[in-house]
Chain A
Amino acid sequence: MLRFILGRLAVLIPTFVGVSIIAFSFIRLLPGDPVMLMSGERVMSPERHAELMHQLGLDRPLYIQYFDYLGGLVTGDFGSSIVTKRPVLVDFMQLFPATLELSLCAIILAICLGIPAGVLAAVKRGSWLDQTVMGAALVGYSMPIFWWGLLLIIFFSGYLGWTPVSGRISLMYFFPPVTGFMLIDSLLSGQAGAFKSALTYLILPTIVLATIPLAVIARQTRSAMLEVLGEDYVRTARSKGLSPFRIVGIHALRNAMIPVITTIGLQVGVLLAGAILTETIFSWPGIGKWMVDSVFKRDYAVVQGGLMLIAGIIMLVNLVVDLTYGLVNPRIRH
């Protein structure tokens, strides 16, 4: 097991270096003068330019600049915003819980609905239930989620007036963040109605963000289940006289989960890409909206740092998924 983990880490390091090279060269690839881009100043004298160039370290050889950058990354220095001058990492840590809360809720929703739906579709293969579930999954899989979000807003916020349009919680409530998770913080605050308010703000973005992972998980679960249900060991389980629930829910599902877990792991990238759109639609103050805003504000230092941090998170999650995979599949564990 330890060797398995070390092997995974060994692959991760070159990827991390590569990602850092891309993030590093991103600023240098931008059309225009990097000094002007990084300082955010439009007009400057040649002296000021030289001074800034030196200050930003842009006058040194490229490889030294890169190693400086890498050194910064290792010590937690991801640069500072051109606009607000605040360190990127500080902003990121402040905004990330909002994205994490939304993504976790979405993936939990997707797993809790997607796996049972896929299992049911596989067990009732060919029935109207199967066709309905798979039809819905295909629609979900083809959904432009930015439009889906707008539709939900039109219906639930505009027409029914049930849910708010943007933000994380009603302005009526204010409390200092403890965990950064609004659902937990609102409970901790003890203010009446705060939790309910946070929930109503969370529900639409969660549905929107969960749509594609839900569809993918349902489809993958169904095909994995169909394959597993035809295996000899399922026949053995049936020959023991076990209940259908036990055969499907334990013997088959446990095996079908092996490919499904890989799929769930791959959804992390999909979730973060989806978060960019979802957060933009619902003005959710997370890293997706932060990145889009920074691109528009030409705050390239933030884009650079954010790219690095987001890629880092994805790599970390992939590692965790690989390890879970090992836990589920005894053939890897031993």
Chain B
Amino acid sequence: MSLLEIKNLTVEFETSSGLFRAVDGVSLSCDKGEILSIVGESGSGKSVSMLAVMGLLPWTAKITADRMAFDGKDLLKMSPRQRRKIIGKDIAMIFQEPMSSLNPCFTVGYQLGETLRFHMGLGRAARRQRSIELLRLVGIPAPEDRLSNYPHQMSGGMSQRVMIAMALACNPKLLIADEPTTALDVTIQAQILDLLVRLQKEHGMALVLITHDMGVVAETAERVQVQYAGQKVEEQPVKELFRDPHHPYTAALLSSLPERATVGGRLPSIPGVVPGQHDRPTGCLFSPRCTFATDLCRRSVTLQPPSLGSALCNYPLVGGVPQNHPGKTAALAEERA
């Protein structure tokens, strides 16, 4: 049984100009001790689905799902009070902006200790001891001194380490990391990723890593789920995904990686932007930006079997060639050959 199980999750926001669907029928599962990565451009609804799991969405959000369960417990049927017993203890989350995610008015020690007191009922001395232990675990030098620091006295990398320490405080079974390295310097990015993977291995917890960076995915994840405009478009183990992407969007994302570019050539990019509230197409949401789109794609889209990465595409790619495409299958296959 998977640790986190989501079936057909939809999140809609009430806005001044009507409903906006940020997450559209996304299913997801994450096993114990697994690293799942959710990839997509900004606006693809990857953060929103995880915020829905945490119950952190504002009241304007309307959440519907066939099932949303953690560790066998149905999160949808829980009272807010029961849910708060799990949030922050068994499921923890870290965010993109470490500098603004810590409360500027309270010391590091206070903010760490708060979780420990609330979920573990630790006394003052025990809290202090555990806080120091946690700070040491995330690689902060001289943790005793850091406890009395305020967030504005720390760098971004240091703040993110504190955030990770806070998330780990109660030994969570699942850690959700929402773009944990995006706001940090490149050198710090690698350190934080290594730290996350190391802690995940040591504690045997599951890790959901939300990112837009395929490089990060390649280094850390075991399984990858690609999201586009609120929909899951593909899901594969990381090696297979990089070797043979089935959805044209995934393929385009991969080919825009600098590492994959041909020397001297132009780095390919995907034309256009993720559709917003007002320019949402019918049929396949990626069709306006897809090189293989046909009239059929503009009308409807089919979900492929897991053997084809559950790709949400009428003409899934195999070896870079779209299957059953009216014009291009034969031509491209010939070209490849």
Residues of A near any B CB (own CB < 8 A): 231-233, 235-243, 251, 254-255, 328-331, 334
Contact = CB atoms under 8 A, between A and B. Distances in A.
Given A241-B89, A242-B114, A236 B150 contact: no
A328 B93 CA distance: 28
A329 B54 contact: no
**Most B CB atoms within 10 A — which of A232, A236, A242?**
A236
Contacts of B54: 238-239
B145 to A, nearest CB: 14
Contacts of B93: 239
B88 A233 contact: no
Contact of B101 (A235, A255, A331, A334): A235
B163 interface: yes
**Most B CB atoms within 10 A — which of A241, A328, A334?**
A241
Interface residues of B, number: 30
A324 to B, nearest CB: 14
A330 B56 CA distance: 27
Given A233-B100, A243-B84, 16 more contacts: A232-B97, A235-B95, A235-B101, A236-B103, A236-B166, A239-B56, A240-B87, A240-B114, A240-B115, A240-B118, A240-B166, A241-B83, A241-B115, A241-B119, A331-B150, A334-B150
**Most A CB atoms within 10 A — which of B85, B86, B114, B166?**
B114
Given A235-B95, A236-B163, A239-B56, A330 B114 contact: no
A125 to B, nearest CB: 9
A254 B105 CA distance: 7
B104 interface: yes
A307 B102 CA distance: 46
Contact of A239 (B85, B87, B105, B153): B87
Nearest to A241: B88
Nearest to A256: B105
B88 A242 contact: yes
Interface of B: 54-56, 83-89, 92-93, 95, 97, 100-106, 114-115, 118-119, 150, 152-153, 163, 166
Given A241-B84, A241-B87, A242-B118, A232 B95 contact: yes
Contacts of A235: 56, 95, 101
Nearest to B103: A233
Minimum-distance CB pairs A-B, first 5: A241-B88, A240-B88, A241-B87, A241-B84, A233-B103
Contact of A232 (B101, B105, B150): B101
Nearest to A244: B80
B89 A232 contact: no
Contacts of B88: 239-242
A236 B106 CA distance: 13
Nearest to B110: A250
Contact of A233 (B85, B86, B104, B114): B104
B103 A251 contact: yes
Contacts of B166: 236, 240
A331 B104 contact: yes
Contacts of B89: 241
Contact of A255 (B55, B103, B150): B103
B114 A236 contact: no
Contact of A331 (B86, B100, B152): B152
Nearest to B118: A242
5 contacts: A238-B87, A239-B56, A241-B115, A251-B106, A255-B103
A185 B248 CA distance: 84
A132 B302 CA distance: 51
Contacts of B103: 233, 236-237, 251, 254-255
A231 B150 contact: no
A233 B84 CA distance: 17
Given A331-B150, A331-B152, A236 B92 contact: no
Contacts of B150: 330-331, 334
Contacts of A243: 84
A330 B118 contact: no
B103 to A, nearest CB: 4
Given A235-B101, A240-B87, A240-B118, A334 B56 contact: no
Nearest to A252: B103
Given A241-B88, A242-B114, A255 B104 contact: yes
Contacts of A251: 103, 106
Nearest to B80: A244
A236 B118 contact: no
B97 A334 contact: no
Nearest to A234: B103
B87 A231 contact: no
A241 B118 contact: yes
Contacts of A328: 105
Nearest to B97: A232
A254 B106 contact: yes
B152 to A, nearest CB: 5
Given A254-B106, A255-B105, A239 B152 contact: no
A177 B119 CA distance: 55
Contact of B104 (A238, A242, A330): A330
A250 to B, nearest CB: 8
B100 A231 contact: yes
A307 B35 CA distance: 71
B97 to A, nearest CB: 5
